[in-house]
Structure 1
């Protein structure tokens, strides 16, 4: 059946896309949704579903579940997997012998027959590395809303895929769109002798691996610190309980209403602990009943970790991703130094963070003598760089990004909220023996290495034209072509780095050192007062994010003044860089 969509070329292409879909799709639910849209002449809805195929972004796919090439559904995943399989066959002669691991979290999806249990995402890269596999696939949309799902891919090195693999897989998908005859036969696939379930062995080996980062077992056993943990309706509960047990820590109190996996996320508006207090309301209530002073929270696939601490005033302090990065970085280095007292060992040690994250690790590295590197945003970059360093015989102790992602172990080359929770639990217990709170220790870190005050937020924008207009204005400021602003509301700009175009005013040849991508927007402004601000588009959500930080020299303890100066800088950025498009942007929900 054809839909009356006019005679334009775009309409013909849409009609062809819909016809091909109905020819290929054997899922009666999504097929009937498309047929209903055609009967109703719902051209806009059809265009939304069929206008553009999902592209590999942050190491895979992430989109709303629904019909059409723009959405996550049986057919697009079959097409994606066929393309990926084709690419793997071209890349590895021994693919069948080595294999691929597939896992999933507790998102809504069809029953998976006799396959394994829902996973914390960190077990996927661990499995790839531990078993020497060619690749791994994780079905997860992390902290996205309930209507979304995703398809995350790891390469043989145990890290998320980067170029050229993403482009190679995309091309292979395009030439493998027609489902292979056996693609829809899930029952037959589950009978294959090639299918194995390594879950139990991997579960055991993972916790053995992270135990190597437990340094204060005696303190842990006697700890009297009461900790609450929430998995925010995800998979984290069982894994964090097991991690605390592996570290000989007392089991954290679990938020009963959020303990078990539930893809509807009924108690939260957004299943993302990065959003702060709104997600942690039930955790604070449980902490009050149990007399707990610390809350740990994972996102639904347990690759992120948030931490909050009750202050003497009775108020809860939710640590930012940068603050927790400072605490964990300090703790990881302290424990490492105790194990490696020889003076020259530090020369082989590395820590990493993404370029939009706090520069606190750089400040610690300068004073302590280890190496610090920054990468592009996302753990696909940090994981791959960590692997390169490990292959060179270097030690990679810690990596983090401000979006509450932490890599505390080289056994998992991705962010891991499970091992981070156990390591945070040990740090909290150790500090308690010295009668030191997390917030007090954070102040000590800033006093020694310099205050690093950050303020991050975002605007929601679904219109790509608005986004392009906003960033193009910054590249042609004041109407002058290829000219960036030199001032922002009275704050002098000392340098500009544009990782969309590859421009960096700090480099002798004006070319950026970090990799560039013309398909995403990212500009960093450095200010004469020590401030740094980055504006970028998200790879997984309709957001324009901004990240700001004011870095002070050690000894400058005028926190009140530093915070006011950063507030003024953020206000100037919003007014001068966002204001012309402000009425077309939706601010971050309160």
Structure 2
């Protein structure tokens, strides 16, 4: 390789490897690549070097390891150089305002990568250009980064985390000056700037110098104080909280959440939740769970249920490893546990947040109140808004859209009370324009305590909400597919139904389709000109079918995982409380969707693991 030979026979691949060997200063990843070259391991080299990680609106997410397709010291430096350069072009006062960088507890000993090290390297890059950096001195929940951007008026924020992904992964999440995640066109601008700044700048590797620089500040103590002060505004029943005898268990699933949720409960004068001992301390190996994702339900909560039964607790709260999401389970009569879906929790938290607001505000003020949810989430907030007189809006999938829309509304003097997405993400306070599992945990704790004074549990309250505003029953799942061609042909078949170009199905088995919205192409049959109102993206697949029976189904690809996801919901009118019939109708609809829309590619798809 050193003498210009072409060991792989692929000149583009050889050049990428050669450049890597020239730039990388991490002894572990450098020797990994040197060994692969010596062994002539062409397939492995292709895996690590044939394509660079794509920087999108979700930033980066990939496995830690060597090469341009993985998260490692060099790709973090290259990404940060591109981001720094892009910020220099975007802000004249970047050197006055600066950026914030946070990180979770992930680590990958084989490649020497860890969230803390990646955050330090990112800090070194900015400091080498004279940009002030607020680098947290310890692990924090993801919501602390957007909170810091807004609180300190910074130009941008970076959070090094892979959230609930498997242990080998890491990620790089980016926030803009408005406190929300970036949206287009920033992603493509940053991506181009990364490509233009691949060679490490002279001091980009120099963590030691950066950590001694007067440009480096530690916001940990100040932000810790200010964040909990900010969320206290959402505490409305302090006396009930103090005297409540409700017992709650909390798990942070080996992530960062433990100390922060304890502090949040304290800020609300709630009794501290019982912590699941085996899972409360950060551990990048996630030893007690197959996947560190509370969204997967009972498997992740087994230890929580055991502790709850031992302590006589009725409710379990679970955060994902970076504490931006919240799952809740409740013990039912007879001892069985019910894990609420993200949509059910959206109904409960949305109802509660509005109820607390209404007690303190006049009827006239309701006209300036907004709630948001993503287009694949339950429409329950729309039903509540129609009856109560506030505004509801839906956005594209992902909190980047809800955060940016919330900022627009706040800038117009509106009140944004709540936003949620079905993947257990909740924004209960405009102090953080992103999902926040820490404030949501405390607000849920207060809701549980308040309901207990009326001898009502969460399940009963959910039924009351559905009876008042209409049952909203949802069923979501996914298929795993690693082949982009299979995914593309599955969606193209729906767009060219029966072989007819730009023609969509009008029925699905026994169910009649009344409307179609395709946010990949921008088609919406509900609009007078057939043009979708929501932004479209040709780089991701997403089609929504509305059925004559009140059902809605969306099929979409995931931005961070090899999945085709489907989301279905049956919305009944208030007064229709035949839940058994509604559930059966939704089950039949899902079966029809799988049979008619997924079946042609079935042998190339893996169902969601049980």
| SS of structure 2 residue aligned to 1:143 | coil
Q: CA deviation at 1:207?
A: 0.1
Q: 2:7 aligns with which of 4, 10, 15?
A: 4
Q: CA deviation at 1:58?
A: 4.1
User: 1:3, 1:39 within 8 Å by CA — same for their partners in 2?
Assistant: no
User: 1:3, 1:41 within 8 Å by CA — same for their partners in 2?
Assistant: no
Q: 1:178 aligns with which of 185, 194, 199?
A: 199
Q: Which residue of 2 aligns with 1:25?
A: 24
Q: 2:189 aligns with which of 168, 171, 175?
A: 168
User: 1:320, 1:402 within 8 Å by CA — same for their partners in 2?
Assistant: yes
User: 1:158, 1:413 within 8 Å by CA — same for their partners in 2?
Assistant: yes
Q: Which residue of 2 aligns with 1:412?
A: 432
Q: 2:477 aligns with which of 457, 460, 479?
A: 457
Q: Which residue of 1 aligns with 2:170?
A: 149
User: 1:59, 1:154 within 8 Å by CA — same for their partners in 2?
Assistant: no
Moved more, 268-277 or 577-586: 577-586
Q: Deviations over 1:479-507 (max 9, x none)?
A: 11111111111111111111011111111
Q: Which residue of 2 aligns with 1:213?
A: 234
User: 2:56, 2:188 within 8 Å by CA — same for their partners in 1?
Assistant: no
| SS of structure 1 residue aligned to 2:216 | coil
User: 2:490, 2:601 within 8 Å by CA — same for their partners in 1?
Assistant: yes
Give 1:514-553 correspondences, 5 Å limit: 514-553=534-573
Q: CA deviation at 1:39?
A: 2.2
Distance 2:179 2:293 in 1: 25
User: 2:57, 2:184 within 8 Å by CA — same for their partners in 1?
Assistant: no
Q: Which residue of 1 aligns with 2:386?
A: 366
Q: Which runs of 5+ in 2 are unaligned?
A: 108-112, 121-134
Q: Which residue of 1 aligns with 2:150?
A: 129
Q: Which residue of 1 aligns with 2:129?
A: none
Q: 1:302 aligns with which of 312, 323, 337?
A: 323
Q: CA deviation at 1:188?
A: 0.9
Moved more, 536-545 or 418-427: 536-545
| SS of structure 2 residue aligned to 1:101 | strand
Q: Which residue of 2 aligns with 1:57?
A: 56
Q: Deviations over 1:422-444 (max 9, x none)?
A: 00000000000000010000000
Q: CA deviation at 1:313?
A: 2.0
Q: Deviations over 1:202-248 (max 9, x none)?
A: 00000000000000000000000000000000000000000000000
Q: Deviations over 1:346-365 (max 9, x none)?
A: 00000000000000000000
Moved more, 456-465 or 110-119: 110-119
Q: CA deviation at 1:59?
A: 2.8
Q: CA deviation at 1:115?
A: 5.8
| SS of structure 2 residue aligned to 1:397 | strand
| SS of structure 1 residue aligned to 2:328 | strand
| SS of structure 2 residue aligned to 1:193 | coil
Q: Deviations over 1:258-298 (max 9, x none)?
A: 00000100000000000000000000000010000000000
- TM-score when scaled to structure 1? 0.98
Give the number of aligned pairs: 585
| SS of structure 2 residue aligned to 1:228 | strand
Distance 1:273 1:484 in 2: 36
Q: Which residue of 2 aligns with 1:235?
A: 256
Q: CA deviation at 1:83?
A: 0.5
Aligned: 1:254 with 2:253: no
User: 2:470, 2:571 within 8 Å by CA — same for their partners in 1?
Assistant: yes
Q: Which runs of 5+ in 1 are unaligned?
A: none
Distance 1:578 1:33 in 2: 41
Which portions of structure 1, spanning 4 or more consecutive aligned residues, are displaced by more than 6 angstroms?
Answer: none
Q: Which residue of 1 aligns with 2:415?
A: 395
